[in-house]
Structure 1
Amino acid sequence: MRTAYSVDTVRTAERALMARLPEGALMQRAAAGLAVVCAELLGKVYGARVVLLVGSGDNGGDALYAGARLARRGAGVTAVLLDSERVHRVGLAAFLSAGGRVAESGERALAGADLVVDGIVGIGGRGGLRAAALPVVRAALESRAVVVSVDLPSGVDADTGQVAGEAVRADVTVTFGVYKPGLLVDPGREYAGAVRLVDIGLELGRGEGDLEALQHGDVARLLPEPTGESDKYRRGVVGIVAGSARYPGAAVLAVAGALRGGAGAVRYVGPAAGAVVSRFPETLVSEGAPGKAGRVQAWVAGPGLGDDASGLADVLGAEVPVLIDADGLRLADPEAVRGRAAPTLLTPHAGEAAALLGVAREEVEAERLAAVRELADRFSATVLLKGSTTLVAGGRGEGAGRLARVNSTGTAWLATAGSGDVLSGLCGSLLAAGLGALDAGSVGAYLHGLAARRVSGGAPVVAQDVAGGIAGAWGDVRHGL
């Protein structure tokens, strides 16, 4: 599992470590790791042309010390000082002693560069790049050089991933000690490129983290697995309240996701019964209210309901986990959601999240981590915010507080009609199989994204393809592929 930590937590750990080390030792560790990655990217260091974009503070010092190491190995290293009055003086002296030189013109220095090191702003920076840095950053990004950011791309908020203005788009980001949330959450993740973690000896516990990213092994341990004594009821039964005369496909796709999600049986309640049974004859179809459908261990409600809220009160009143998606998010009584004793999982996309929060969609997309946490707090529920990076924030009793999870296994081809219905069914099935809301949302998003990537191969997919790929993704995770 990857765990990311806030700037305040990282700073506290750095101060504790520096108190035990000789002065400057921590920066030397960071610079050594940065120089190693740069050397690997260059392939041949001797004769390579490297340009350092040096801001004030420790990130500029890291870049200068790393530049000194590369210069001693025969690289031609030039530093562009963006704030010469506040440059790291000791680092600059070491850089010059190693044969590095300071550029008079940043744009000219970048001509023909093989690698550019972004050491402009550190993890404490806020807002976009300052005007003085823009010409040289634009020149760097227009060059053919590999761009390496120090700790975090300059202009990206370390705690949120927000990009308020222009920022460096790195090919590689070398981050020190631990991951920062802004490296894992879009839009910041898109700017970070490939992230390389350098161990500098920070001591941080999992309980201090702000954000988690599950890996194959974590998901494999959470996947439900039947035993020899299992039957369809012991494996869990998920109920689906979805679809309408106008949107029968939403019901079919939600059932498809649920059937692939590990539960022993799926009950469907709604007006699209004919379409569901013709596609999936194993579905248990019920007429009337959800409360009379029979035993279920979890409910999924909302996909394709249109304006029919008749079944939602029954579902929200049930004493089992409930997932609310799509039209259900608009139709459900907020007080009924907040008042539930059993776990609740809400699965909005950015537009639905914006409507629930009463803000513009752009605000949610710019501050996704803040939005998912606010929704979880406001509705006392676990919230899965869909997007290029899916975020899951724990509700009451489920990792409530700052800790959230992020998933990036998907592909842009998942932005297709019905894919969210498949995800809802999949997560609902995991709830019925016994996973908590935070785990069901996290595992469901992971498998859903992996399935899409698996069946796409870089080409367009439709929602049915994604549902069909879940079994293969499940197997890949189970067997560590």
Structure 2
Amino acid sequence: MRFGYDYATLRAAEQRALANCAPDALLKQAARKVAAVAIADLKADGFFVPGSVIAGLIGGGNNGADGLYALAYLARRGAVAQALVLHPRPPAGALAAAQAAGVRIHFFGAEDDSARPLTETETARLLSLARSAGIWIDALTGIGLTGQLRPRLQQVIKLLREEAESSPKPPTVIAVDIPSGIPVVSETETTWGALPAEIIPADVTVAMGGASSPLWLPPASLQCGTVEELDLGFDLLGQPARTIVVGREDLPDLLPPADAWSHKYNRGVVTILAGSENYPGAALLAASGAHGQTAFSADLRAAALTAVHPGMVRYVGPPALQQLVVASYPRTVVSADLSAALLKSDAVVCGPGWVGEGRYSQLREILKFAQTEGVAVVLDASALDLFARLYQDSPATMAAAPTMITPHLGELRRIGDALGLVGEPNPVKLGARIAQLAGVVVLVKGHQSVALTPAGQAYTAPPGSPLLARAGSGDILSGILGAILAIRGSCGIAAADESLALSAMAATILHSESVNVGN
């Protein structure tokens, strides 16, 4: 797993590390990493370092110092290193080191007029220098950016972004800590991956000492390119991570394997309530996910076979749909008696195509059972509208049951409106607010899905396949997720918020993988 931290945690760790080393030692170490990334990019494209033109976009503080020291290393290797200094007070020590190494320094604007935009002459010179470089080292703004950029920086970032986008061969952009323009904190809170109007998208982001949360959270994460973390000895062990990133390599730790003593009742029983006369396919899709009837690549097949093959899949629904499900998946145990089915359940999936009379009272029964027995409940699709109504009628019942809701962006906004959270444009932040308000885990589904907990943590996984944006995709995901939760529950893993969020990430990775290989 990889982790993302808020600004205060990273800044405190940085200050502790700086206090225990020689002046600028950490900055120089960070700069060597940036220089190494630049050199690797040149070699990958078949270029030599000597004679290659590299531009550094230099701001103030430690971020600007990292950029200047990186340019100094590259200049000593023979690169034509250009420092485009856009801050009125660049770091003096790093600036002197860059000049001594032969870096060409270009200042834009004087200290007493830092708020004014660049003149036409300055703009032409800036773009000419930037255009001549095959690599840009973005060291303009760091993780301490709060609120809006100053007018000059807004102008510069807009000019450089447009230059890169219009170029027939765009430069490789290496961001120091975070692409310029993306704030890590607003005035009062974490930005949850929000994007401002103007940023410089990066091909590679080098996170110094530890990664900030926006590097992992969409939409900001989609502008950060490949994230490379550099260990600078920051003492982050035991510090609370704001964001947890789950990867394919983590699946074996999240999916308990079967053993010689496993049988159908102790290997997880998942109960599914899905489908209706108008949406019979939803019952089949949810059941297919729970039964593991999906294809996986060779390296994930063993993990998938463990994850999505619970001891039993139960289906609760009308007789016509029971027959349809059993015809496709004969191992399914069917019933029309919800109360009896719940008694043997380790997880419940409710909602795909689930419309009709009596659904509200059934959902109340499910959540009361979950509250009493500690059984995880997944609410998807049609159950989400009932969720908003139930929260308004009985918020205590909702918060006490281990519940996960799985909205896509449209459903998320409808839930937000119903709960009075109107006008929040950032889906991750909206999901976080719903999670905190309702006391449930919220899985915001999308190209890069994010699970938000009531405690304010975000769990995510690498972006998935664009083919996930198809009708029925969420139904399959709900079945996979229910199977994982049932298996974990039967193994004695409590349905706590963290467990629900980790299970959601395992399910999204497996589901995206199955889509990639043809489902």
TM-score, scaled to structure 2: 0.81
Give the partner amino acid of 1:415: A
| Correspondence for 1:132 among 155, 175, 179 | 155
Task: Give the structure 1 partner of residue 383 of structure 2.
Answer: 328
How many equivalent residue pairs?
Answer: 452
**Separation in structure 1 between the aligned mates of residue 512 and residue 427 of structure 2, nearest angstrom:** 25
**Separation in structure 1 between the aligned mates of residue 513 and residue 499 of structure 2, nearest angstrom:** 21
| Correspondence for 1:446 among 487, 500, 506 | 506
Q: CA deviation at 1:89?
A: 2.3
User: Contact 1:409–1:446 (CA<8 Å) still a contact in 2?
Assistant: no
Superposed CA offset, 1:366-394 (max 9, x none): 251x2232222111122222122221233
Q: CA deviation at 1:161?
A: 1.7
Give the partner amino acid of 1:296: S
Task: Give the structure 1 partner of residue 516 of structure 2.
Answer: 456
CA distance change for structure 1 residues 328 and 290 in 2, over 3 Å: closer, same or farther?
Answer: farther
Task: Give the structure 2 partner of residue 195 of structure 1.
Answer: 227
Give the partner amino acid of 2:385: R
Give the partner amino acid of 2:441: T
State the secondary structure of the residue aligned to 1:79.
strand
Task: Give the structure 1 partner of residue 275 of structure 2.
Answer: 243
**Separation in structure 1 between the aligned mates of residue 37 and residue 322 of structure 2, nearest angstrom:** 57
Task: Give the structure 1 partner of residue 138 of structure 2.
Answer: 118
Structure 1 gaps of 5+ residues are 396-400, 466-481
Q: Does 1:303 align with 2:352?
A: yes
**Separation in structure 2 between the aligned mates of residue 354 and residue 201 of structure 1, nearest angstrom:** 41
Q: Does 1:263 align with 2:310?
A: yes
Task: Give the structure 2 partner of residue 471 of structure 1.
Answer: none
Q: Does 1:366 align with 2:426?
A: yes
User: Contact 1:68–1:100 (CA<8 Å) still a contact in 2?
Assistant: yes
State the secondary structure of the residue aligned to 1:339.
helix
State the secondary structure of the residue aligned to 2:211.
coil
Q: CA deviation at 1:233?
A: 0.9
State the secondary structure of the residue aligned to 2:174.
strand
User: Contact 2:468–2:515 (CA<8 Å) still a contact in 1?
Assistant: no
Deviates more, 1:379-388 or 1:46-55: 379-388
Task: Give the structure 2 partner of residue 472 of structure 1.
Answer: none
Q: CA deviation at 1:269?
A: 1.1
Task: Give the structure 2 partner of residue 423 of structure 1.
Answer: 477
Q: Does 1:94 align with 2:81?
A: no
Q: Does 1:109 align with 2:129?
A: yes
1:207-218 correspondence to structure 2 within 5 Å = 207-218=239-250
User: Contact 2:427–2:444 (CA<8 Å) still a contact in 1?
Assistant: no
**Separation in structure 1 between the aligned mates of residue 201 and residue 397 of structure 2, nearest angstrom:** 44
Task: Give the structure 1 partner of residue 179 of structure 2.
Answer: 153
**Separation in structure 2 between the aligned mates of residue 131 and residue 153 of structure 1, nearest angstrom:** 13
**Separation in structure 2 between the aligned mates of residue 432 and residue 337 of structure 1, nearest angstrom:** 25
1:1-400 correspondence to structure 2 within 5 Å = 1-43=1-43, 44-83=48-87, 85-103=88-106, 105-127=125-147, 130-133=153-156, 134-143=158-167, 144=169, 145-158=171-184, 159=190, 160-260=192-292, 261-271=308-318, 272-291=321-340, 295-308=344-357, 309=359, 310-318=361-369, 319=373, 320-332=375-387, 333-334=390-391, 335-336=393-394, 338-340=396-398, 341-358=400-417, 366-368=426-428, 370-395=429-454
Deviates more, 1:170-179 or 1:210-219: 210-219
**Separation in structure 1 between the aligned mates of residue 426 and residue 310 of structure 2, nearest angstrom:** 36
Superposed CA offset, 1:387-412 (max 9, x none): 222212334xxxxx233311125212
TM-score, scaled to structure 1: 0.88
User: Contact 1:364–1:371 (CA<8 Å) still a contact in 2?
Assistant: yes
Q: CA deviation at 1:299?
A: 1.2
Q: CA deviation at 1:187?
A: 0.8
Task: Give the structure 1 partner of residue 303 of structure 2.
Answer: none
Q: CA deviation at 1:363?
A: 5.9
Q: CA deviation at 1:451?
A: 4.2
Superposed CA offset, 1:117-140 (max 9, x none): 111111111456643312234224
Structure 2 gaps of 5+ residues are 107-121, 185-189, 293-307
Superposed CA offset, 1:89-144 (max 9, x none): 22222111111112461111122311111111111114566433122342244342
State the secondary structure of the residue aligned to 1:208.
coil
Task: Give the structure 2 partner of residue 473 of structure 1.
Answer: none
User: Contact 1:128–1:166 (CA<8 Å) still a contact in 2?
Assistant: no
Give the partner amino acid of 2:61: G
Deviates more, 1:220-229 or 1:67-76: 220-229
Superposed CA offset, 1:138-197 (max 9, x none): 224434221111110011233422112111111111111111111111111111011111
Q: CA deviation at 1:291?
A: 4.8
State the secondary structure of the residue aligned to 1:304.
coil
User: Contact 2:138–2:175 (CA<8 Å) still a contact in 1?
Assistant: yes
CA distance change for structure 1 residues 101 and 140 in 2, over 3 Å: closer, same or farther?
Answer: farther
Report the aligned-residue RMSD. 2.3
Give the partner amino acid of 1:356: I
Q: CA deviation at 1:444?
A: 4.1
Superposed CA offset, 1:217-242 (max 9, x none): 43211212222222111112111111
Q: CA deviation at 1:442?
A: 2.7
**Separation in structure 1 between the aligned mates of residue 342 and residue 58 of structure 2, nearest angstrom:** 66
**Separation in structure 2 between the aligned mates of residue 456 and residue 420 of structure 1, nearest angstrom:** 15
| Correspondence for 2:486 among 429, 432, 438 | 432
User: Contact 1:161–1:367 (CA<8 Å) still a contact in 2?
Assistant: no
Q: CA deviation at 1:70?
A: 0.4
Task: Give the structure 1 partner of residue 297 of structure 2.
Answer: none
CA distance change for structure 1 residues 300 and 380 in 2, over 3 Å: closer, same or farther?
Answer: same
Task: Give the structure 1 partner of residue 118 of structure 2.
Answer: none
Task: Give the structure 2 partner of residue 478 of structure 1.
Answer: none
**Separation in structure 2 between the aligned mates of residue 67 and residue 362 of structure 1, nearest angstrom:** 47
**Separation in structure 2 between the aligned mates of residue 20 and residue 441 of structure 1, nearest angstrom:** 37
Identity between Structure 1 and Structure 2 (%) = 35
Deviates more, 1:198-207 or 1:325-334: 198-207
Q: CA deviation at 1:88?
A: 1.9
**Separation in structure 2 between the aligned mates of residue 60 and residue 141 of structure 1, nearest angstrom:** 24
